[in-house]
């Protein structure tokens, strides 16, 4: 994200909306991946209940995460 846009809650709002949509659509789980050096997004995802899981991707330093809906 653009540094000037950080800290305004936009990422949190978008993630929360996506999780709400997943629930409405009947999803059982939401999966995502993020590079391990992206500390802010990793903290955001963990704060919303995402947990790190074994990778489904062979790219090094890619963190895979899941959360039940």
Q: What is the dihedral of CA 54, 57, 61, 63, to 10 degrees?
A: -50
The residue range of the domain holding 39 is 3-68
8-66: pLDDT as tens digits: 888 899 999 999 999 999 999 999 999 999 999 999 999 999 999 999 999 999 999 99
| Residue 8, pLDDT score | 83
Q: Which runs of E-coded beta strand occur in the chain?
A: 29-35, 51-53, 62-68
Question: Cβ contacts of residue 13 below 8 Å, gap of 6+?
Answer: none
Q: Which residue has the tokens 């991707």?
A: 57
| Tally of domains in the chain | 1
Residues in the chain, how many?
69
Strand partners, 9: none
pTM confidence score: 0.85
Looking at residue 23, which CATH number applies to its domain?
A: 3.40.630.30
């Amino acid at each position: 994200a653009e540094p000037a846009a950080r800290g305004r809650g936009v990422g949190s709002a978008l993630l929360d909306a996506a999780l709400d949509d997943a629930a409405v659509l009947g999803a059982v789980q939401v999966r995502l991946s993020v590079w391990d050096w992206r500390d802010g997004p990793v903290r955001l995802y963990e704060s919303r209940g995402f947990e790190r899981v074994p990778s489904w991707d062979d790219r090094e330093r890619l963190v895979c995460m899941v959360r039940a809906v």
